[in-house]
Structure 1
Amino acid sequence: MNTLLLLIPVSLIVGLVALGAFMWAMRSGQFDDLDGAANRILFDDDETPEQED
């Protein structure tokens, strides 16, 4: 029973921290472009000529 008195507040605090991190990510625009990173791997990079030593 004493363990529950410790674990319930700790779990609520962890949940509030996770909710705060999610809200920060939403406000800072972390989820604005979800498809950009997935499609970026398909585009070829510009080839640079090799330099001779």
Structure 2
Amino acid sequence: MSAIYILIGASLVVATGFLIAFLWAVKSGQMDDRYTPSVRMLFDDEIKISKKQNDSSLSNEQEKKELN
């Protein structure tokens, strides 16, 4: 029976911690923008070209110009 008192106390401590974390997040403005996350998935990500790939594509274009 004493174990249940320990578990209730521990659960209250954890619940209080979650409540404090939630209130801190709301106060710091993390929950302000509710529109952008819902439409973010509709936009394409920008294609990132690494410098190595970019350099090789430029050299290929230069070779084509030299052949013509």
Q: TM-score interval w.r.t. the shorter chain?
A: 0.7 to 0.9
| % identical equivalent positions | 40
Uncovered stretches (5+) of structure 1, i.e. residues with no partner:
none
TM-score computed with the length of structure 1 as normaliser: 0.75
CA distance in 1, matches of 2:47, 2:7: 56
Q: How many residues were matched structurally? A: 53
When residues 35 and 3 of structure 1 are mapped into structure 2, their CA distance, relative to the original with a 3 A threshold, is same
Calculate the TM-score normalised by the size of structure 2: 0.61
The runs of 4+ residues in structure 1 deviating greater than 4 Å are 45-50
Q: Which has the higher contact order (CA 8 A, sep 6+)?
A: 1
User: Which one has a bigger Cα radius of gyration?
Assistant: 2
